[in-house]
């Protein structure tokens, strides 16, 4: 596959989360769909504003947790009942109260691991290259105190002139072109 060339998108820079959210809402209302917000910290409303409703991390986390629970509880039952039955103080081989604690620990462990790695995978990380870093103001501000909205050129509605005038109407600090 050849590397894509040309314009990746137009990026507007804002000074506050509120301005960004308003611009993002306006862009969604104007019909733009392929766009993304970049903020130095999580701004949930920005995600909502661009029509991103829910992520699958919680589902991945739940599946991980259930797998951990079943795995440990099954392991304990198998060992205590079939593989290596031991008479401990005359209790039944299948003593569920004693199985709860390790099963619970594995639920936590597996759901935590599933959530962490699932989040990375669903975010498409690790990623070695992303075009937005070609914008110099992005490199300086995205992790400190600036808020960015990028309209991507793959959007069917995207036309460079129109998109630029739209973004400039949102009173940004600046609007820059982002190359691939």
Partner 1 sequence: MANDHFSKGLPSTLTAPPFVDSWRRRALIAGLVFSAIAVILGYLGQAQNQLGWEHLLRGWLDGFVMCFGFCFGAMALLFVQYLSGGKWGLIVRRPLEAMTRTWPLVILMFLPVAYFGATLGHLYPWAQYADWAPALQKGLISHDMAHAIEWKAPMLNVKAYWMVSLLCFAIFAMYVIFLNRWSLKRDADPEPNVTYWRTRFENLSGFGVVLFSVLLFILAIYWVMSIDPTWYSTIYGFQYLVGEPFVVLPLAILTLIGLGKAEPIRSTFRKIEQHDLGKLCFALVMLNIYFAFGAFIIIWSGNSPEEIPWYLDRIRGNWGVIATLDVIFHWLIPFTLLLSRDLKRIQSRLSVTCCIMIFAGFWDMFWLIEPSFWDAARHLQLTWGILEYAAMPAALFSFWLVYYFQQLKARPLIATNDPHLAEILEHDYVHA
Strands (E), the chain: 7-14, 35-38, 147-152, 174-179
Given 13, 19, 76, 152, the residue binding partner 1 (CB under 8 A): 19
Q: Are strands 147-152 and 7-14 parallel, antiparallel or unpaired?
A: antiparallel
Least distance (Å) from partner 1 to the CB of residue 160? 27
Single residue of 4, 18, 165, 168 touching partner 1 by CB under 8 A: 18
Binding mask 22-61 for partner 1 (x = CB under 8 A): -------------------x-xxx------------x---
Q: Is 10 helix (H, G, I), strand (E, B) or coil?
A: strand
Q: Which of residues 85-144 bind partner 1 (CB under 8 A)?
A: 89, 91, 97-98, 100-101
The span of 14-22, 30-38, 122-130, 150-158 binding partner 1 (CB under 8 A) equals 14-22
Cβ proximity of 34 and 149 under 8 Å: no
d(CA 81, CA 112): 29
Distance separating alpha carbons of residues 20 and 26, to the nearest angstrom: 10
- Rounded to whole angstroms, the Cα distance separating 49 from 23 reads 9
- Is the Cβ–Cβ distance between 9 and 178 less than 8 Å? yes
| 13 counts as binding partner 1 under rule CB under 8 A | no
Closest CB to partner 1 among residues 58, 165: 58
In the complex, which residues of this chain contact partner 1 (CB under 8 A)? Answer: 15-19, 21, 41, 43-45, 58, 62, 89, 91, 97-98, 100-101
């Amino acid at each position: 596959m050849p590397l894509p060339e040309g314009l990746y998108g137009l990026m507007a820079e804002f000074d506050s989360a509120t301005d960004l959210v308003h611009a993002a809402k306006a862009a969604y209302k104007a019909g733009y769909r392929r766009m993304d917000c970049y903020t130095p910290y999580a701004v949930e409303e920005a995600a909502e504003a661009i029509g991103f409703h829910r992520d699958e991390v919680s589902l991945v986390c739940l599946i991980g947790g259930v797998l951990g629970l079943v795995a440990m509880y099954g392991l304990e039952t198998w060992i205590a009942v079939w593989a290596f039955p031991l008479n401990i103080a005359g209790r039944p081989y299948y003593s569920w109260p004693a199985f709860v604690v390790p099963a619970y620990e594995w639920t936590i462990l597996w759901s935590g691991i599933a959530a962490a790695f699932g989040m990375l995978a669903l975010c498409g990380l690790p990623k070695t290259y992303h075009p937005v870093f070609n914008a110099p103001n992005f490199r300086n501000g995205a992790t400190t105190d600036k808020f960015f909205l990028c309209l991507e050129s793959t959007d069917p509605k995207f036309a460079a002139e129109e998109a630029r005038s739209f973004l400039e109407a949102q009173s940004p600090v600046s609007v820059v072109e982002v190359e691939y």
